[in-house]
Chain A
Amino acid sequence: MNDVLVRLENVTKHFPIRQGLVFKKEIARVRAVDGVDLKVRRGETLGVVGESGCGKSTLARCIAGLHPVTGGRVLFEGTDVGRLTPAGLREFRRQVQMVFQDPYGSLNPRRRVGSIIGDPFDIHGIADGAERRRRVRELMELVGLNPEHYNRFPAEFSGGQRQRIGVARALALRPRLVVCDEPVSALDVSVQAQVINLLDDLQRELGLTYVFIAHDLAVVRYVSDRVAVMYLGRIVETAAAEELYARPRHPYTAALLSAESVPDPDEAARRQRIVLTGDVPSPIDPPRACRFHPRCPKAQARCVQEPPSLIARGADPPDHLTRCHFPVEADDDLAHEHASIRQVSTDPALPEVER
């Protein structure tokens, strides 16, 4: 029994930067997603976390087939999404849906809610007239909207309600995979909880699989079965959610988790923050080998010379993969170490060791 719904094999997505008015010459490329391997199992929620600009949203759009990938393959039910026939692509669009980050930008302001939610039925020629209206009302009820508001414009709804409209639209065709691109980041905390619980309920009711992109660690922890951590276009660590939060192995994950806010002030005071120095390097010119080495408290010469691969380290369970030569151990004190190796460009110079 094959339980993998989506598999990403070495997926890359580069955006060319062009210069010139008529003859556009490619002068550089943004490596938004650069070699991602990932599996999404049926019925699970895979959380993807990372800082702004690490390529999460681009990855989401690659999975949803909105961006053609530059390299590698996205396999949905074993078929390469990049090589679908027009008919196959239509079917794929029914199976995979997206919920977007911005509840204001993702709904056409000129159209009534009823026709926005009814769009999928119209596009795929599934239902029209009274039947479509009935099904749209059903969907509105399903996501907790008042079906009476069928004729309203998006501007007449709050952010949370708009996100519910987006969810209703995504669920109209009963997809198997829903890619949620920061679905709650733009909402108030109280409303976040409502939308997350709604997504959770719907997953149980309809047997959905989610890819859940977010930068909020608490949200991801709450919704995810498994979590993947992204840094500069690559997955640096992936594990079952509980495992990852309890025993982070990649220094970057450890640093992210140490920055998470804790509701208990005593606990928060005891917590040691790992402060990363420097900024996220540019994805146009990422650091060589391990991309995290310029900011990593544990970096050594090897990290600059040899790219680490994403494998299970030490005694980790087989699905806990870490892209690090020197994974974090239980007795490490990262909070008092600072980045020791600095490399500002990809110029293959020898590592410059300070201190």
Chain B
Amino acid sequence: MSSYSDLEAEAVPGGAGPEPVRGRSPFRLGWERFRRDRTALLALAALALVVLFATAAPLLAAVTGHPYDVTYPDTGLDLNGMPVGPGREFWLGADQLGRDVLVRAAYGARISLLVGVAATVVATLLGVAVGVLAGYAGGAVDTVLARFMDITLALPYLLVAIVLASTFQITAVAGSLALTVVVIAFFSFAAMGRILRGQVLSMREKEFVEAARSLGAGPLRIMRVDVLPNLVAPVVVLASLLIPTAIVFESTLSFLGVGVRPPMPSWGSMLGEGSDVFQTAWWLLAVPGVLLLVTTLSFNLLGDAVRDAVDPRAERLATSRAGTVVEDGEG
């Protein structure tokens, strides 16, 4: 008869020192899944290039000798007053005022990324606060907050944004940036808030929350210790999908002339200004358009990859896609 400890010793082959088993955190597991996703790594690389492009904007201005807000009517425009195409002087062509499209696109990347990330951060904070409060408090608080979110979702956001921009008539670049961020955040937080509210509503009934209550934990502690950590996955996923939406939103506003003020370039305003002359100067649409496409597509793919990585159910889909799992009967 071997005792329990004998059996355990057998289980460790060669009598090597038992390696301490450490629980891997969900984030570590998620990161390991993420690292195996090639699409995600490609998207990440593309975004790294866009970020590099944005940070290198002053450098590009110095190398080309063309600041973003200076017009070069002599070299940038031809004899008919049309912008010159990509060449030695203007690498990606000039715009209708004779400004360097490459330099402007680089500065526009700064605006897009800045507004996209800032609006997402604000919207996420707002969405988490409102969603968790509504879901956990319930009752009248929930009714008021939930209806408020419904109303924001029902408002025609473009009209409101245009009205806001024309009402405030902000001409300073910083001011218009701030207003753009606030408008985007205000119209984006509700989607996240509603999803989180639902999550909290169902979590409030979970036994581990009840267990915490029976131990004597207060509502703030329960929200901090038990509710918020379980929301990290949906928040990360929703936020990563919010960034491209915010970037497109900003471009739309700038395209309509109610976003970031000139002369500060933004991909949206470049598209807007270029749309008048694009029949002869295709690069005016192609450069900001391709950048916008690549950036939002990369963020979207990245968001999907993050969801696959942090959501265990999505993992199964990923493995079946890779062919390691036999196809299921459906389809």
Q: Which residues of A pack against B, CB within 8 Å?
A: 22, 61, 64-66, 89-90, 93-94, 96-98, 100-102, 105-112, 119-120, 123-124, 148-149, 151-153, 156, 166, 169, 173
Contact = CB atoms under 8 A, between A and B. Distances in A.
A106 B216 contact: no
Which one of B214, B221, B226 has the greatest number of beta carbons of chain A within 10 Å? B214
Given A101-B207, A109-B230, A93 B214 contact: yes
Contacts of A102: 207
B313 interface: no
A66 B211 CA distance: 9
B222 to A, nearest CB: 10
A117 B212 CA distance: 11
The interface size bin for chain B is 20 to 34
Contact of A98 (B20, B26, B214, B221): B214
Contact of B22 (A89, A100, A151): A151
B12 to A, nearest CB: 14
B211 A106 contact: yes
12 contacts: A93-B214, A97-B215, A100-B211, A105-B208, A107-B211, A108-B225, A108-B226, A112-B23, A119-B217, A123-B215, A124-B216, A153-B26
A96 B216 CA distance: 10
Contacts of A64: 214
B211 A98 contact: yes
B206 interface: yes
B147 interface: yes
Contact of A97 (B20, B214, B221): B214
Given A156-B23, A169-B211, 14 more contacts: A22-B147, A93-B214, A98-B211, A100-B207, A105-B206, A107-B208, A108-B208, A108-B229, A111-B229, A119-B212, A119-B215, A119-B225, A169-B215, A173-B215
Contacts of B143: 22
Given A22-B143, A108-B230, A156-B23, A66 B210 contact: yes
B126 to A, nearest CB: 23
Contacts of A108: 208, 225-226, 229-230
Which one of B22, B23, B213 has the greatest number of beta carbons of chain A within 10 Å? B23
Interface string B2-42: 00000000000000000011110110000000000000000
